[in-house]
């Protein structure tokens, strides 16, 4: 999608990233990290009452650039088709915020950032972080923007984990939540896929125990990790429809080249990923995902009791990385806790990637859900409890 097409489709147009820096953050492991910077973008305008703010939480490989285009570039944000006038997140009505996660590599403090104690990149001296730490940093940003209560927190995959963390940590600070294609905690299979990716990075000779910033990065290992990820993001049917067993027709005798179209695709995605992502960030963020447990070791319904926020849970039938049963566990816990919850399982063939690609159906669900949540405020000037 090019820049002109984005603008013709009434998107948010040109945008710029901003950075919020604060002195320190106490992590769950009791360590203090500081100063901390978060890169973020906003779309739309905050209303007088500051009651129309929506936080978008990104997935593993995402960043703060969720919509629009940057000056001099033509690549729209990762959820561009969902954000803008008349879209799911209607910027004529809502003020939308997206920040790069703590531990990331696109403007927020992470392993590649300079350690103030050494004036060198943190590398593995960066402390282990959790999804709750990521959300605590987001809360500091929301406070900085003067927003007492978010209309909604929305995110898919790892973004959905952040949504659940918001529900548990700051239930009084949001009116609604939309966790998409996510889970209360990772299954052994989900942890296993992440561990294989981490091992691929650490097996790269250029990784050097994380101290590669003055030399060559572990590009091959990170590319393999990304290739593994892409296999899990798609479904068997979507791969068959996209590639089949088609070969590239290069006319070479058999050898270990990318003969099949799917092989070439995976290599292409892996090679492109290393140009924009830091290997150490990949290690830290996937570990945070694996360690996440929204229930805190209890029954999830117990930690949700008393929550007044309305919840919309979305899953996809062909998603085998975050299968629908995990979303249903969220729904069951919400209902047992007395939380007003709506569930929708979309019949998509895209697999886990569906949360990025099923624009029409997701937009319909989210648009109407947000209107319902915001309706009481529009009519009475009050919303949420």
Residues identified as active-site: 157, 319, 352
Q: Residue 219 belongs to what H/E stretch?
A: helix 219-233
CA distance 25 to 36: 7
Contacts of 77 (CB under 8 A, 6+ apart): 15, 41, 65, 66, 67, 68, 69, 83, 98
User: Which candidate, 49, 172, 159, places its Cα nearest to that of 97?
Assistant: 159
Q: Collapsing DSSP states into helix, strand and coil, what is residue 77?
A: coil
CA distance 100 to 2: 23
CA distance 384 to 103: 32
> Do 55 and 66 form a contact (C-beta atoms < 8 A)?
no
> Do 328 and 343 form a contact (C-beta atoms < 8 A)?
yes
Q: Collapsing DSSP states into helix, strand and coil, what is residue 308?
A: coil
Contacts of 143 (CB under 8 A, 6+ apart): none
Please give the distance of CA 288 from its chain centroid, rounded to a whole number.
Answer: 13
Gyration radius from the chain CA atoms: 21
> 166, exposed or middle or buried, with CB in 10 Å at 0-12, 13-18, 19+?
buried
Q: Collapsing DSSP states into helix, strand and coil, what is residue 260?
A: strand
CA distance 59 to 101: 9
């Amino acid at each position: 999608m090019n820049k002109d097409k984005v603008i013709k489709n009434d998107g948010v147009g040109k945008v710029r990233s901003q950075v919020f820096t604060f002195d320190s953050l106490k992590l769950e492991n009791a360590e203090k990290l500081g100063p901390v910077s978060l890169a973020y973008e906003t779309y739309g305008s905050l209303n007088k009452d500051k009651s129309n703010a929506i936080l978008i939480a990104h997935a593993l490989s995402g960043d703060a650039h969720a919509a629009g285009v940057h000056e001099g570039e033509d690549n729209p944000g990762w959820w561009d088709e969902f954000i803008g006038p008349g879209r799911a997140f209607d910027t004529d009505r809502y003020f939308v915020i997206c920040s790069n996660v703590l531990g990331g590599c696109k403007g927020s403090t992470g392993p590649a950032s300079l350690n103030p104690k050494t004036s060198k990149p943190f590398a593995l001296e960066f402390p282990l972080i959790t999804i709750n730490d990521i959300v605590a940093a987001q809360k500091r940003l929301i406070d900085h923007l003067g927003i007492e209560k978010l209309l909604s927190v929305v995110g898919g995959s790892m973004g959905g984990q952040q949504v659940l963390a918001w529900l548990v940590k700051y239930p009084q600070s949001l009116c609604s939540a939309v966790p998409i294609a996510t889970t209360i905690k990772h299954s052994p299979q989900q942890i296993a896929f992440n561990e294989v990716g981490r091992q691929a990075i650490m097996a790269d000779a250029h990784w050097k125990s994380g101290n590669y910033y003055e030399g060559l990065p572990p590009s091959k290992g990170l590319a393999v990790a990304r290739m593994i990820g892409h296999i899990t993001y798609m479904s068997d049917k979507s791969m068959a429809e996209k590639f089949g067993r088609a070969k590239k027709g290069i006319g070479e005798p058999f050898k270990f080249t990318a003969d099949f179209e799917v092989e070439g695709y995976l290599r292409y995605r892996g090679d492109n990923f290393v140009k924009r992502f830091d290997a150490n960030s990949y290690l830290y963020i996937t570990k945070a995902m694996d360690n996440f447990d929204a229930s805190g070791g209890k029954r999830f319904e117990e930690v949700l009791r008393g929550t007044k926020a309305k919840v919309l849970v979305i899953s996809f039938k062909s998603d085998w990385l975050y299968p629908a049963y995990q979303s249903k566990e969220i729904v069951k816990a919400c209902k047992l806790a007395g939380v007003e919850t709506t569930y929708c399982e979309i019949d998509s063939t895209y697999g886990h990637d569906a949360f990025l690609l099923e624009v029409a159906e997701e937009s319909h669900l989210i648009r109407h859900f947000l209107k319902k949540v915001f309706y009481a405020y529009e009519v009475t000037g009050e919303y949420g409890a």
